Amino acid sequence: MSKDETEYSDEFAAGLELMWGEGFLSPGGPEEVGLIVHGLDLRGKEILDIGSGLGGPSICLASQHGAGRVVGIDLEPLNVERATDYAAKAGIPNLLTFLAVDGGRLPFEDGSFDMVFSKDSITEAPNKEDIFLEAYRVLRPGGWIAMSDWFCDTSPFTPEMNAWMQQMGLALEMTTLDETAGQLRKIGYADIVIEDRNVWYQDYSKREVARMAGEDQHRFEQVLGEEVTADWIEVTTLKTRVVAQGQLRPGHLRARKP
């Protein structure tokens, strides 16, 4: 269950969407987007979505939360094309812009956005503090960073965690929620709030397996084939174990630029 190093194949992206919903490459769908930004007023705001993927979260921010303009950036040009198509399909292409950005300094002026948003997209980035610094730079005073990502706990990785990462073909650069909050505090962010979502995902990941191995197995096999579907079921079953161990911990984080 690994993707190509340079792009999401059509098959891989379609499988993830079947798992998590149209336009989404990580779990929780629109409900999770709503929780990430809960209590923040997005009406008419300009938002940067880092790691916008297929565009599902950006579309939610505009269509369900009143964002005035969302700019999504992603490493993969193919994802940018797909997200642009989904924005047109949603009938709001005027509110959404998607760009391929190859890391490094963001191509925006200082103070360009009211919010920086990200959903589960920087786990593999070794330069997270640089990303947070750039987010701080492009935020206007009083603006928020609101994000979710995959975190770990303080214990060494278990054999199950190492096996899961090997099977996924991942080299995760994970930190704890507290360590990430410390990075934000060091940069100068204020009003930092973190939320551990491990308990939620323990149940959610079990339901992922139940769907793939039960009611939706035929649909997955139509998209991925029988052999790949069997591999996904095996890997996702292993993931439920590392989530239960606390090794893989989805979490929410928000902070304000003074």
Domains of the chain: 10-155+172-201+250-256 (3.40.50.150)
- Chain-wide mean pLDDT for the chain? 94
Does 156 score more than 80 pLDDT?
yes
**pLDDT the model gives residue 144:** 98
Tell me what the mean pLDDT of segment 4-11 comes to: 66
**33, 37, 41, 43 alpha-carbon torsion, rounded to 10°:** -20
**22: pLDDT strictly greater than 70:** yes
**Tokens 């989404």 sit at which residue?**
24
Residue 111 has pLDDT above 70, yes or no: yes
Q: Which residue type, as a one-letter code, is found at position 148? A: S
2: pLDDT strictly greater than 50:
no
Residue 195 pLDDT: 98
Per-residue pLDDT reduced to its tens digit, 62-107: 999 999 999 999 999 999 999 999 999 999 999 999 999 988 899 9
198 membership: H or E segment, kind and range? helix 198-212
Listed in sequence order, the DSSP H helices in the chain are 10-20, 29-36, 56-63, 77-90, 128-138, 159-168, 177-187, 198-212, 217-224, 226-244
- 7 falls in which pLDDT band (50, 70, 90)? low
